[in-house]
Every structure is written in structure tokens, then in C-alpha cells.
Amino acid sequence: MTGLVTIVGLGPGDPRYLTPAAAEALASATDLVGYGPYVDRIPERAGQRRHSSDNRVELDRARFALDLAAKGARVAVVSGGDPGVFAMAAAVFEAVDNGDPAWRSLDIRVEPGITAMLAAAARVGAPLGGDFCVMSLSDNLKPWDVVEARLRAALTADFVVALYNPISSARPWQLGAAFKIVAETRGPDTPIILARAVMRPDERIRIVPLSEVEASMADMSTVVTIGASTTKLIERSDDKAPYVYTPRFYGVRP
């Protein structure tokens, strides 16, 4: 097969954080496939076909892209952030695994991007400086009891925890439930970072102690980062937001 599928991470939103390799893949594609708002972020090019779809049809989108490539197209499947973090790379390979055996002969590449968790961390300091984990709070693709069990395990292990997909109109209660679980193992002063629309014009970042955080402070454009027991704030003067960091050294230095 002569076609190509490149799964591209667009980064957090600011075009300066699109990697040169990702930009090259987008420029050389004959077809763009992706969730509508992500496709809209890409400048139009003469002769390049654009195929936008809804957010909840990832496998259908992946199959469509693979079928285009099987017919000889150079397809860029676009995701926000990094395509391997709760995004289209897994969907494409799942489609290959369970679909037309001929798709296994396709050239499939993944171009990484800066995911929201990393962009949010960079805005406030180094909260991911020690061990951390990342999970999606959505139960659309896995049951809530699995989400809850994984969250409890991560908190018990004292990871910094980054939460994607924290809340939506269809799931208004889950972030509040998660904060209650956090309070079982973390102190009231634990810093919670709520980073909305990181590196986009409507960016908003708040650093709130666990005792004061509310689920209403987040939406689906927010990544929520929960500090570990070792995560620290460095207070600053002139009403500037504190720096947040998690030391790499765990315990008490000799």
C-alpha cells in the first residue's frame, strides 16, 4: 500500500508549540481527519481535503482514515495535545487490530505533541518533578468503579495525579466525588492546580488548597493536578501566584 497515516499532536493550542515534525506532516497530507475544533485549528491549504467529525466517533474516524490511506492518500489524523494521551493514536491502532487485515501493511506514524498536563505544569513551576500519574475521570469508556479504584491507588501511593476530562454537563458529579476521595489521603493544604485552556487566549490557571476547591471551578477544557504530600508552594511578593513544585527527593534529606 502506498498510503500513509500520520497521527499528529497539535499541542495545547498556541501554534508556537506545534513541533516542526508535526507541522511537516500536516503540510504534506492530502487529507486531514479529526474532531472538528481540532481540524479548524489548522490553516487551510489548496487541494487538501478536510474531514471533520464529532468527538464521540473515534473508532469510526480511525477506520475512515485507514480506508483513505489504503486507497493511496497521505492522511493526517489530528488530536489536541499529544495523540497518544487519551487521543487518536490508540483508536487508530485499535481499528488496525480489529479491522481489515490489509491495514496492517500501511505505514502508520505517530508525531508527539505537548499534552495539556505538561503545558499546565510549565505554567506554574514543576509540580510533576517527582513521580506522577495521569488518568481520565470520564467513565464513558470504562466504569466508574475502575476510575475510583485507580484514583485511590494513585493517591495511596502518593503520586501527583493529573486528571483529564474532569467534568461535563453529562457528568456533573464525578469531580466532586473525586475531591472527596482525595481528602481521605491528602491534607487540606494540598495544592490543586486547575488549568483551563492552557496556552490559548482564554487561559485561566488557579492554584487552590484542597480545603477550598470546588468542582464548579473546572470544565472539560480543564486539566486538574493534585499535589502529592511532598508538593510545595513558593510564595511570591506583589500578589504574584506562587510557584508550585514537587521535589525529586522523597523524604527528609540527610
5 DSSP β-pair partners = 75, 108
Residue 239 confidence (pLDDT): 85
Rounded CA separation 31/1 (Å):
16
Query: Strands 107-111 and 49-53: what pairing?
Result: unpaired
Q: Which residue has the cell 493529573?
A: 162
CA atoms within 13 A on the CB side of 111: 23
Mean pLDDT of 102-118: 96
Write the Ramachandran bin of 238: left for phi over 0, alpha for psi from -120 to 50, otherwise beta: left
Rounded CA separation 137/219 (Å):
12
The answer to whether residue 138 scores a pLDDT higher than 70 is: yes
Percent of the chain with pLDDT over 70: 98
Residue 254 confidence (pLDDT): 59
State pLDDT tens for residues 195-245: 999 999 999 999 999 999 999 999 989 999 999 999 999 999 888 999 999
Mention every residue, 6+ apart, whose C-beta is less than 8 A from residue 229: 158, 186, 187, 190
Residue 33's nearest CA partner among 13, 52, 47 is: 52
**Residues recorded for the chain:** 254
Residue 169 confidence (pLDDT): 83
Confidence of residue 252 (pLDDT cuts 50, 70, 90): low
**Orientation of helix 144-156 relative to helix 174-185, angle to 10°:** 30
Tell me the whole-structure pTM to 2 decimals. 0.91
CB 74 within 8 A of CB 82: no
Confidence of residue 168 (pLDDT cuts 50, 70, 90): confident
Mention every residue, 6+ apart, whose C-beta is less than 8 A from residue 253: none
Q: Which residue has the cell 466525588?
A: 177
Percent of the chain with pLDDT over 90: 88
Residue 237 confidence (pLDDT): 86
Which backbone phi and psi does 189 adopt, to 5 degrees? -90, 5
Residue 175's nearest CA partner among 233, 135, 232 is: 135
Confidence of residue 253 (pLDDT cuts 50, 70, 90): low
Rounded CA separation 127/145 (Å):
27
Mean pLDDT of 139-163: 95
Residue 212 confidence (pLDDT): 97
Query: Strands 222-226 and 160-164: what pairing?
Result: antiparallel
State pLDDT tens for residues 2-37: 799 999 999 998 889 999 999 999 999 999 999 999
